[in-house]
Structures are given as C-alpha cells and as structure tokens.
C-alpha cells in the first residue's frame, strides 16, 4: 500500500534525503539495523544537515508527551496539587456526611459510618466525580422523605402562614 | 503483569547502539549522543552553578570526560544516568576550583531512569527560563497547542503510530502487531508523523531557541 503523502514524484536526491531522515527517525527509537547505521553515519558525514534533523527529532517525543499532558483533562497521578485538592474534597465529603447525619438525627450509628465502603466514581459533564456510598444512601433517604412527609410539612407551614396573614 | 519465567525483553535503545559504535571507534556516533544530551546536561549543570557563562564550558568538559571514560561504561545503567554522574562530578570539581557557594540543586534527586525529578517543567537557574515570564508561559502553551493540532491533523494511521510510540513507548514490532501492518510501514508512518509535527512547530521552536522548550 502506497502511503506517500506527496502529489508529485520526488527527485532521486529527495528520495535519498528522505531515506536517511527516516533512518534517523528509526535510530531515535533504537530501531535501526546495524547495517543501516553504517550507511547513516556516512550520510551524516556527507550532509551535516542530518545532525540538525537528529536534534529536531529528539525534541518531538518530549514535546508530544508534554503537550498531551498539558492538555489532558485528567490530572497526573504524581501532581501534588491534585492530591492536595483531592484530600481537601475528601475531608469535606466526610465532614458533610457526619454533619448531615447529626442534623437529620436519622443517621446510621458511628460504627456504620466507620465501615468504609468503596468509593464510587461517577462520570459527569464536568469529568469523573467521586461519591461516597454512605452519603449516597443518606441523600436517597432524604429524597424519599422529601417526596412524602417533609413536603407535606412545608405545604402545611405555607398554608398556615397564608391563613395567619390573610386579613 | 509479566510472568516471572517469561524473559523481559528490553525496548530497543539507540544509546546502547551508539555507544557500541563509539567503542568500535566511530566518533560520529558520539557526536549524535552529544547532540541528544547536550541541552539536558546543560540544564542539569545550570541548576548547580550560578555562573551562567560557565555552563557550556562544564558541559563540554563533561562530554570529553565521558568520551574518555566510555570504555568503562558497562551498560548496566542507562547511558544518561552514567552521563549525569559525570556531569555532576565535573560541575562539583569546577565549583571547588571556583570556591563559590553554588549548589542550588540537590544532585541526588535523580530517578532510576536518570531523570532529574525536579526538572520536569523547570529550566536551570539563570541559564534559560527560571524567571519564567508570562510570554514564555504563553509560548509554551502555544507550542503545546501546535503539537496537539499537528497530531490531530495527521492521518489516523500516522497519529496512532506516533502515539503508540511516544506516549505508550511501544516497539515498532508491537505497533506493527497493533496496527496489522509490516514493521517497515510503522517506521515510515512514525517518520512522516515526526516530519509533519516538526514542520508545524519548527518556526515556533526557532523563535523560542534557548527558552523553555
């Protein structure tokens, strides 16, 4: 399969230049055969520009890696800023869970909270999101209560206010 | 995970090939090693000495010492790890002569691959971009964007090949298996991908010579 990108047929000199540049590219990756290295060294001696090509190719790899990392939405595992933020968020979730349980007075006992179930990762439009399963259960309970008694209390409260404020 | 009884085959390494050629008397191979590592060695030395003007000199001395010591290189460490130690020792000796208080960088922060762990995004003090400017940060972002644009503009086969090589570190053989094509095709694809990326970013790199990238 011909994968050549050029439209016009290249000159023999261009073909040779491309061949040695391709050899340099393979040498960057340590994939050049010993026999080709012999020819390449002679070519470099004839054409010092190939040394500049070698230098250029050396920069491509690190640039690709850096560019990929720089524009990646997922933080690097060894990024200390990411882990500090993660720890802060985890602390917030833990404190919120305990506080929520105390306020509702229906939270599971401390032994239940301390059991430490596995963290759940959910995908969202803003990226991966960590959810605490205990918190999820409490939120579910709250939603269920909200559909019934809690909502009725609120409407009753509103009705009472209406009655008291109507002349 | 690799089973313990299965031999681990190291990835091909141009350094060992070039070192062997040097040992066989081919000085041109050492030129390629110098070109490959010169900037990295200068960055390392630049973090150790305050005298910016001394950096190229110490780097040159490092390579001379490395060339002379090459027969003692046993190949049990990566070439850059070995070169790194020579550079650090050369810089220390020079600093003792200069009798300054120069160490601004702990030279033991090198990992097993020979990379200075503190140098991922930093350039040497005073030697290039330690005093990073908003312009240099912007230029770096522009280059990163240009590289990604160049990658995105590549035909899918070329993009996959270069990604598997540069991001995943696969050998040509493994890439050939992954792409279902001959190794020669992989080699050609990676070459053309490099040429395309290079053409896209070369003007920016020339503009940024001596700076962050």
Share of chain B above pLDDT 70, in %: 75
User: In the prediction, which pLDDT does B51 show?
Assistant: 82
- Tokens (6 digits) for B101: 């208080």
Chain A residues closer than 8 Å to B165 by CB:
29
What does the angle CA A14 – CA A48 – CA B13 come to, to the nearest 5 degrees?
90
Ranges of each domain in chain B: 15-119, 134-206
Tokens 């999101």 — which residue?
Answer: A129
Name the CATH topology of B15-119. Answer: Rna Polymerase Sigma Factor; Chain: A (1.10.1740)
Going by C-alpha positions, the residue among B50, B61, B179 that lies closest to residue B127 is B50
Quick check: A22 and B187 CB within 8 A? yes
Output the pLDDT for position B49.
85
pLDDT at residue number B187: 97
What are the residue ranges spanned by the domains of chain A? Answer: 11-71, 133-167
pLDDT confidence of residue B139: 76
- Say if residues B45 and B58 touch (Cβ distance below 8 Å): yes
Beta-carbon contacts of B128 under 8 Å, excluding residues fewer than 6 positions away, are B43, B46, B210, B211, B212
Count Cα atoms within 13 angstroms, Cβ side, for B210.
4
> Which residue stretches of chain B have pLDDT < 50?
1-9, 102, 105-106, 108-131, 210-213
pLDDT score for A54: 94
Place of tokens 């993660």: A86
Alpha carbon distance A114, A97 (integer Å): 11
Integer angstrom CA distances of residue A40 from A88, B32, B115, B187, B189: 55, 11, 29, 16, 19
User: Residue length, chain B?
Assistant: 213
Q: What is the DSSP letter of B4?
A: T
Task: Give the whole-angstrom CA distance, residue B18 versus residue A30.
Answer: 9
pLDDT 10s per residue in chain A (167 long)? 455 555 678 888 889 999 999 999 999 999 998 889 989 999 999 998 999 999 999 989 988 998 888 766 655 555 555 556 666 666 766 676 666 666 655 544 444 444 444 555 555 555 555 555 555 555 555 555 544 444 444 444 444 444 454 44
| Nearest Cα residue to B211 out of A135, A72, A59, A73 | A59
Write out chain A residues lying below 8 Å of B189, CB-based.
3
Contact A56 B202 (CB under 8 A): yes
Give the tens place of pLDDT for each residue, B131-178.
467 777 777 788 888 999 999 999 999 999 999 999 999 999 999 999
Retrieve residue B105's tokens: 């960088």
User: What's the rounded Cα separation, in Å, for the pair A57 and A20?
Assistant: 13
Looking at residue A31, the DSSP 8-state letter turns out to be -
The Cα angle at residue B146 between residues B145 and B149, in degrees rounded to 5? 85
Question: What token pair was written down for B136?
Answer: 């240099």
Distance from CA of A85 to the nearest CA of B (A): 21
The model's pTM is 0.61
Q: Which CATH class is domain B134-206?
A: mainly alpha
Q: Cα–Cα distance between B2 and A79 in angstroms, integer? A: 28
Residues of chain A found within 8 Å of residue B31, distances taken between Cβ atoms: 44, 51
Query: Which residue of B22, B34, B144, B152 is the best one to mutate when testing the A interface, meaning the one whose CB has the most A CBs within 10 A?
Result: B144
Q: Give the ipTM.
A: 0.74
Q: Cα A143 vs. chain centroid, distance in angstroms?
A: 31
Nearest-CA distance from A56 to chain B in Å? 7
Cβ contacts of A59 on chain B, cutoff 8 Å: 205, 213
Q: What is the pLDDT of residue B57?
A: 94
Inter-chain contacts counted by CB atoms under 8 A, chains A and B: 110
* CB-closest option in B144, B166, B191 to A22: B191
């Amino acid at each position: 399969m011909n994968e050549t990108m050029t439209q016009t047929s290249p000159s023999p000199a261009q073909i040779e230049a491309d061949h040695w540049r391709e050899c340099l590219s393979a040498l960057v990756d340590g994939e050049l055969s010993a026999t080709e290295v012999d020819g390449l060294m002679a070519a470099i001696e004839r054409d010092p520009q190939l040394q500049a090509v070698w230098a250029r190719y050396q920069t491509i790899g690190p640039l690709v890696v850096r560019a990929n990392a720089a524009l990646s939405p997922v933080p690097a595992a060894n990024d200390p800023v990411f882990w500090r933020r993660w720890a802060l968020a985890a602390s917030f979730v833990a404190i919120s869970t305990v506080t929520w349980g105390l306020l509702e007075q229906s939270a599971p006992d401390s032994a239940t909270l301390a059991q430490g179930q596995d963290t759940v990762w959910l995908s969202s439009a803003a990226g991966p999101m960590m959810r605490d399963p205990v918190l999820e259960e409490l939120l579910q309970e709250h939603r269920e209560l909200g559909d019934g008694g809690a909502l009725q209390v609120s409407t009753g409260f509103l009705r009472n206010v209406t009655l008291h404020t109507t002349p | 995970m690799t089973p313990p009884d299965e031999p681990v085959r190291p990835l091909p390494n141009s350094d060992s090939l070039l070192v062997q050629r040097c040992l066989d008397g081919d000085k041109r191979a050492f030129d390629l090693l110098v070109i490959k590592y010169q900037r990295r060695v200068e960055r390392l030395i630049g973090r150790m000495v305050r005298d910016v003007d001394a950096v190229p000199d110490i780097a040159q001395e490092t390579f001379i010492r490395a060339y002379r010591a090459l027969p003692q290189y046993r190949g049990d460490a990566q070439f850059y790890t070995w070169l790194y130690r020579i550079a650090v020792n050369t810089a220390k000796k020079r600093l003792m002569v200069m009798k300054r208080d120069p160490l601004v960088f702990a030279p033991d922060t090198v990992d097993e691959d020979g990379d200075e762990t503190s140098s991922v995004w930093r350039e040497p003090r005073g030697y290039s971009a330690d005093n990073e400017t908003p312009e240099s940060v912007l230029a770096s972002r522009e280059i990163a964007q240009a590289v990604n644009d160049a990658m995105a503009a590549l035909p899918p086969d070329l993009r996959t090949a270069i990604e598997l090589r540069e991001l995943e570190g696969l050998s040509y053989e493994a890439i050939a298996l992954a792409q279902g094509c001959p190794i020669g095709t992989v080699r050609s694809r990676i070459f053309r991908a490099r040429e395309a990326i290079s053409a896209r970013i070369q003007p920016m790199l020339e503009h940024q010579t001596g700076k962050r990238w």
